[in-house]
Amino acid sequence: MRRAICPGSFDPVTNGHIDIVARASFLFDEVIVAVGINKSKNRLFTAEERMEMLREACREFSNVRIDGFSGLLTAYCEENDVQAIVKGLRAVSDFDYELQMAQMNSSLADIETVFVPTSPEYSFLASSLVKEVATFGGDVSGLVPGFVRERLVTRLDERRRAGDA
Ligand code: PNS
């Protein structure tokens, strides 16, 4: 059984993430999509909300399950018998940091990192940019699933109201 992990913040999940998960699910017997839980980072959605959206977004992939992790990714991989970390590469600019992380992770544990090139239609896509565009009223349909767009608009609206109060 070859088990891989797609780790990330997923704040929120985008169509680019789903594309990478879909391709990982084709390559491996089982894929865990794991939400990094880092309480010190300021996120728009809680870890539980991010996992909920991932469960909905990945429900069509029968060999994919969603989980959360805190602490070292390599520790989670060892505890869950994961052999490979799958990461999407959008551009050369992603490569330096991702290579550094891959080498650090392989120095910490017996784990391979597999880079999957992002499909060209998603090469500009990042959760941070989606949030920025939505904050200023831009149309993010086509970049995230419809139900994520709705939750994003609602959450940003709640934040705006809380800021005005
Ligand atoms: O979506 P992101 O923000 O690029 O995801 C980053 C994530 C969660 C994959 C990365 O920060 C991570 O692996 N964090 C776990 C802590 C860890 O293992 N750090 C050492 C990495 S070399």
Say yes or no: CB of residue 105 within 6 Å of ligand 1. yes
For residue 26, being part of any structural domain is answered with: yes
For residue 138, being part of any structural domain is answered with: no
Active site annotation includes 93 = no
* Span from the CA of 21 to the centroid of ligand 1 (angstroms): 17
Cross-sheet strand order for the sheet of 30-36: 64-69, 30-36, 3-8, 84-89, 112-117
Active site annotation includes 160 = no
The pLDDT confidence band at residue 163, using thresholds 50, 70 and 90, is confident
Per-residue pLDDT tens over the stretch 38-92: 888 899 999 999 999 999 999 999 999 999 999 999 999 999 999 999 999 999 9
Q: Give the CATH number for residue 80.
A: 3.40.50.620
Structural domain range at position 117: 3-124
**7 strand-pairing partners:** 34
The closest residue, in CA terms, to atom 4 on ligand 1 is 8
Q: Which helix (H) or strand (E) holds 65?
A: strand 64-69
Say yes or no: CB of residue 9 within 6 Å of ligand 1. yes
Q: What is the mean pLDDT of the chain?
A: 96
* Span from the CA of 164 to the centroid of ligand 1 (angstroms): 34
For residue 38, being part of any structural domain is answered with: yes
Say yes or no: CB of residue 126 within 6 Å of ligand 1. no
The strand pair at 64-69 and 112-117 is best described as unpaired
Per-residue pLDDT tens over the stretch 119-131: 999 999 999 999 9
Q: Please state the domain count of the chain.
A: 1
For residue 40, being part of any structural domain is answered with: yes
Question: Which of 113, 140, 136 is CA-nearest to residue 14?
Answer: 140
Q: Is the per-residue pLDDT at 165 higher than 70?
A: no
For residue 70, being part of any structural domain is answered with: yes
For residue 156, being part of any structural domain is answered with: no
Per-residue pLDDT tens over the stretch 44-53: 999 999 999 9
Q: Which helix (H) or strand (E) holds 20?
A: helix 15-27
Q: Is the per-residue pLDDT at 27 higher than 90?
A: yes
For residue 54, being part of any structural domain is answered with: yes
For residue 115, being part of any structural domain is answered with: yes
Active site annotation includes 87 = no
> Considering the entire predicted model, what is its pTM?
0.96
Q: Which helix (H) or strand (E) holds 86?
A: strand 84-89
